[in-house]
Structure 1
């Protein structure tokens, strides 16, 4: 790494990453409901299924080589250029295969009408993988502050373009344009920030050496991808594109808090944990602090959305989506249950526990896919979401055991400390839900119900957090004020 890694440097870089995502939060908060009002569930479902296939192939095409670059002891130009051309060659092969096999793939996923979208979106594969090497250089140098502005610009311009096209009556092409505009601007930004320019150099032995290491990381990443994307595929296959569209719209909105916090946190924590691979004490301290902080930030958003899902769905998405409010609420609940696990993937990946990460990721992917498939095959979309919540509750306990065992942290104490913010948020959500059902629903317009619910939830959560997390809040304040690393071991 080009700079030393400590609690303050990690916090600073996480702050920049989160700031870039927070800058687009308000815009996405508006644009997702607008697009949902202007587009049909079938259009949402078609793009969502096609994008899931594209992202899966892009992940395989990259083969984890860029992630391996982050862990290299030094920046070797020939190795870097070799990885770029290997990525690009694999990306082009994947894109060509998807183009020619688009129709049978679309039919197998229960989305035969979306074959033309697969052919078009296959171009995203080389577009995404062309920037992997540049991002790896940014990550290993911990230069996330320089990347933050470009990330915010790409997402903002793409969202605005999508809304303009949707208002102009372009339908599904608004969603397609959003993906390509974001990808092109993001690629330009990565090359600008990293100062990387590809050159015609290729060394086979460097690619083979990195591939041997990266295959283990790729296996776990593929399994994690299946975990997150398999519900969309299963719902499309068993319940049709309309339900897939309802799931996609609710999932896109409920994922905004995760995109704001986790995309920034996880990108920084992987290189940070990698730098601490030989310092177990600092690594353990960073794990607990990052886990508590992400749960502290994310849990109230997700459980609060569960509490206010019914009026929020009507206000944000309109009457045509109002009946899908249980889907939004259950998705938020399922994500809320996993907020303490948000830092586990970068921890296992960066601390050298690739084997544990791989086998756990495979087991989780199988369990998630099976649970959602069972619910969808034997019931409705709501029952599939209930099954997702149940399997995520089991994942929370199992994943925590795997990580704390790898970290040599006593399970019960580590588990309690990590889920305490989540329990506080769950209590807050139950109180807000009770107030909504018994006092607010019959007296106020849905817009006021949402506003009052947010205000009430914020006050309750702030009071409960001051009662239960004062040592953590004090440590965070010290971390911001002090120029030197703080001692994290005495966190409760």
Structure 2
């Protein structure tokens, strides 16, 4: 099987995994929104800021390092595994000790137990990181899906039950812990890799020389991505933080579904052709065109139909989050472009440039926040859009040098999808308030009409992504026909 076929099949498996897991997560989130208060989501948002930092410390970039090693030895994998366990223990101990200070920072004493109990997820995930990375390296996303879906289902059922019984924010914490525990256990049950009792100091130094820059970049990204939630939670009431976090969670359910699926597969696949710049450029162009073709209409139509979506699925107390979600979706349009350009740096082993760009982006975030935080949540979100647009330019600059993929070429590749999906989303948003239908009818008819028009027009205009998909499907059908003829 060719690398293209392996990558495409891997993306399909990973996307199916993301679709089912995110679909389950979306359903559970909507059910919990009916059982819990915005304040409960606000408390979880405060906790997750620090749990995410601890998780980044646990990983320390080693999972990324082993994905790009051309010939990975058993000793390399075992060294990374035991290093992650050690880093996980250190991260949890620091988190446990810092819990009272976190509670004092927010003036919320309930956070002490929430941080200490919720922090156990860091220890659980320490046993999963390398096992999952080995599956990613083998492009075995089917096993990841088999392990992830039961974790999502079981934890979702448990969370809804706890919410129905009145446990409030503990329903959200329970969901997080149970999902991590079940998924990790099943990955070890079905995964074939097992560590040996070896630790190679030389191997650790080599991996960490790449990984620590990824770790610092990840830490910066985690701190500053969560800085928005931290700032909103500190400056405003827990209920406002809950609305902000809830909108962000809905946005992430959509954007991570595709971006994560593509990145998980393409990084190990493209790392194998990292020494062929021409082939690497062609592969990245195709990935960018396909990703934006799918993601742009999803994010922009979600923004356009946020009002009827909330009115259909959620209690009235959540409607204040609608403008938050709309602005977040607009900012998220730039995410796949920046993510793919940064992926070029990882594939080429330039973690130094990756770290430098992350530092530059964080400086930009601080400058924009300095002008916006005094003017409320909406101003902060407009600032996010500004940061997203300006961050793309330096991210794309190095793709020109490393694989000769210039900003001009990238604009030519993604602008058709952006203009078409943006025009349809704008028309949908303008028409929606004047239609004398129920919110559910608006949601179903307008999303179906806009989606159908997008597919039809992209076909008539011969978008590259449409042609790639049609050609790949036709090729697979032809191969299947030949296999059936040979079998008969």
Q: Which TM-score applies when normalising by structure 1?
A: 0.91
Gaps in structure 2 of 5+ consecutive residues: 478-488
Conservation of the 8 A alpha-carbon contact between 1:299 and 1:336: yes
What's 1:453 paired with?
446
**Larger CA deviation: 194-203 vs 241-250:** 194-203
Find the counterpart in structure 1 of residue 480 from structure 2: none
Matching of residue 409 in structure 1 with residue 405 in structure 2: yes
What is the aligned counterpart of 1:284 among 281, 285, 290? Answer: 281
Aligned twin of 2:173:
176
CA distance in 2, matches of 1:381, 1:70: 39
Greater Cα shift, 282-291 or 420-429: 420-429
SS at match of 1:73: coil
Number of equivalent positions: 477
CA offset at residue 372 of structure 1? 4.1
Q: In structure 2, which of residues 25, 36, 44 is the aligned counterpart of residue 39 of structure 1?
A: 36
Question: Following superposition of structure 1 onto structure 2, how do residues 187-202 of structure 1 map, counting pairs within 5 Å?
Answer: 187-202=184-199
> What is the rounded CA distance, in whole Å, between the counterparts of 2:17 and 2:278 in structure 1?
30
Q: Which residue of the partner structure matches residue 218 of structure 2?
A: 221
Q: TM-score, normalised by structure 2?
A: 0.92
Cα separation, partners in 2 of 1:371 and 1:134, compared to 1, 3 Å: same
How much has 1:81 moved relative to structure 2?
2.0
User: What CA distance in whole angstroms lies between the structure 2 residues aligned with 1:324 and 1:247?
Assistant: 6
Cα distance per residue 1:208-247 (max 9 Å; x no partner): 2221221122222223323432211121122232221111
How far apart in 2 are the matches of 1:163 and 1:422?
A: 38
Q: Is 1:145 matched up with 2:154?
A: no
Q: Is the 8 A contact 2:399 2:406 kept in 1?
A: no
Match of 1:462 among 455, 462, 481: 455
Match of 2:81 in 1: 84
What CA deviation, in whole Å up to 9, does each residue of 1:411-448 have, x standing for no partner? 212222123312221111001011113x32xx122222
Alpha-carbon contact 1:59-1:222 (below 8 Å) kept: yes
The alignment's C-alpha RMSD in Å is 2.1
Tell me which of 351, 374, 378 is aligned to 1:378: 374
1:133 aligns with 2:126: no
Q: Retained in 2: the 8 A contact 1:353–1:406?
A: no
1:26 equivalent to 2:27? Answer: no
Instruction: Trace 1:264-413 onto structure 2 (pairs within 5 A).
Output: 264-372=261-369, 374-375=371-372, 377-413=373-409
Partners of 2:66 and 2:24 in 1: how far apart?
34
Three-state SS of the structure 2 residue aligned to 1:183 is: helix
**Residues 37 and 195 (structure 1 numbering): CA distance in 2 closer, same or farther, change over 3 Å?**
same
Q: Quickly say closer, same or farther: Cα 1:110–1:317, change in 2 above 3 A.
A: farther
How far, CA to CA, are the matches of 2:199 and 2:166 in structure 1?
Answer: 47
Aligned to 1:488: none
For 1:2-81, what aligned pairs fall within 5 Å after superposition?
A: 6-81=3-78
- Cα distance change of structure 1 residues 333 and 65 upon mapping to structure 2, 3 Å threshold: same
Counterpart residue number, 1:479? 472
Task: State the Cα deviation string for residues 119-155 of structure 1 (Å, max 9, x = none).
Answer: 1122111111211111121122121122222122222
- Secondary structure at the counterpart of residue 482 of structure 1: helix
Aligned-pair CA distance for 1:206: 2.3
Paired position in structure 2 for 1:487: none
CA contact (8 A) 1:41 1:246 kept: yes
Shift of 1:279: 0.9
Encode CA deviations 1:183-224: one digit per residue, 9 max, x unaligned.
011112322343233443323332222212211222222233
Indicate how the Cα distance of structure 1 residues 468 and 161 shifts in structure 2: closer, same or farther if over 3 A, else same. Answer: farther
SS in 1 for 2:333: helix
Structure 1 CA distance, aligned partners of 2:376 and 2:31?
Answer: 26
Question: Which residue does 2:429 correspond to in 1?
Answer: 433
Q: Which moved more, 1:411-420 or 1:190-199?
A: 190-199
